[in-house]
Amino acid sequence: MTDDGSTKAPGATNAMWGGRFSAGPAAVMAEINASIDVDRRLWREDIAGSKAHAAMLAAVGVISVEDFRAIDAGLDAVAAEIESGRFAFSKTHEDIHLNIEARLKELIGEPASRLHAARSRNDQVATDFRLWVRRACDETAAAVRDLQQALAEREREHAATVMTGYTHLQPAQPITFGHHLLAYVEMLARDRSRFIDARARLNECPLGAAALAGTSFPIDRSRTAAALGFDRPTANSLDSVSARDFALEALAAASILASHLSRLAEEIVLWTSPHFGFVRLSDAFSTGSSIMPQKRNPDAAELCRAKVGRIAGSFISLLMVMKGLPLAYSKDMQEDKAATFQAFDDLALALAAMAGMVRDMSPDAARMRAAASAGFSTATDLADWLVRALAMPFRDAHHVAGRIVALAEKKGVRLDEMRLEDMRHVEPRIDERAFGVLGVDASVASRDSFGGTAPDNVRAAADAWLEKLQTEKPR
């Protein structure tokens, strides 16, 4: 409320549309309408778009070369001020576009007013936001690649380190630690491809679509698209300013990636617990307790695990904003950036923390082997041997192996500790050869089918991934 008791914000009407309005907005309207606290992050993209737009306007004769040069130099000066922290962002100008334009006018005068010919804030923000999301996709893909590299290096190191493989979090079959890590390398490869695909689809330039209908100025949209690194201009002016599916697709990819990071984080939490004791994190990635001196908490992993809620929430938030909007632009779409910025901030932090933990963690090979040897994890190997050696149908072999497991459990021994005569009580044809498949090393070595856990397979896969990651050209 102003000093005179009204609810109008003090000062003149906004210079961008003052011809239509005779009074300023209500104070609460000014507050809800302003987005500068969020979209100030688009300043680089906004200046890049304006420089490309000004160059195109000069090339087609809409503005003079002299005005273009003044605008171009002025935008460089604004960029330098923002970069150095000397720029005064103001809610009076409500968003990044008007803040930059107002400062440009202070610096160069009338030529700044010519910059907005043949564009609207609708196509301007759509262009800025596409540029930002494109960069976020590139940076995320690079961070995923770094995490893959970290995992592949540890995979190669532990290609033969035996551990328990689980289903239902119950001991299932012996695998190797390297094989387990390889699963995440493969998952992350799909994640990275999603960002690369999303980038390819979004790489069209909305600039020149204007408010919604295009423009009567003789502009060259292909020129501005090329100047900003887009493949082509968008083909429909309505769609150009209305679409935010490029951000939704990036957020969907981010949500899937975050769920994969959360799964790995959960395993690190389990592995570092004393009940498992498979892995130890150094002090660099552990915290203590304010009351319990013995505690070593894997907080970095737990926080990575939590990020999926925030990131997926950002995706749902934007999806709900967009689901009922008619064409073309609605102010609801101003809410697109806060969710997207937050999600990619969280994702970048989680990726860096996860790569750090993967490089930091120290596996306890002896503890892993001991766990793999327990829980009758080679029962399937026994069933497979019965099929191969005795020509027994697998369902019958499964039943026989199950009875032998029950007997071993009753006697309190591992399968490889069973006496031959006890196994023959269940199946008289079993002989000493069966013991050759009951050890965990023999079990993992036998799983040499394509994609299996055999150490030679794992080494070959690790080598292939490391070569691919090292020779791939980063975007």
Residues belonging to the active site: 168, 289
User: What's the CA gap between 192 and 324, in Å, rounded?
Assistant: 30
User: What's the CA gap between 274 and 289, in Å, rounded?
Assistant: 16
Q: Is 399 exposed, middle or buried (0-12, 13-18, 19+ CB in 10 A)?
A: middle
**SS3 per-residue string spanning the chain:** CCCCCCCECCCCCCCCCCCCCCCCCEHHHHHHHCCHHHHHHHHHHHHHHHHHHHHHHHHCCCCCHHHHHHHHHHHHHHHHHHHHCCCCCCHHHCCHHHHHHHHHHHHHCHHHHHCCCCCCHHHHHHHHHHHHHHHHHHHHHHHHHHHHHHHHHHHHHCCCCEEEEEECCEEEEEEEHHHHHHHHHHHHHHHHHHHHHHHHHHCEECCCCCCCCCCCCCCCHHHHHHHCCCCEECCCHHHHHHCCHHHHHHHHHHHHHHHHHHHHHHHHHHHHCCCCCCEECCHHHCECCCCCCCCCECHHHHHHHHHHHHHHHHHHHHHHHHCCCCCCCCHHHHHHHHHHHHHHHHHHHHHHHHHHHHHHCEECHHHHHHHHHCCCCCHHHHHHHHHHHHCCCHHHHHHHHHHHHHHHHHHCCCHHHCCHHHHHHHCCCCCHHHHHHCCHHHHHHHCCCCCCCCHHHHHHHHHHHHHHHHHCCCC
- Token pair belonging to 401: 């192996």
Positive or negative CA dihedral for 253, 359, 132, 196?
negative
Measured in degrees and rounded to the nearest 5, phi and psi for residue 324 equal -120, 20
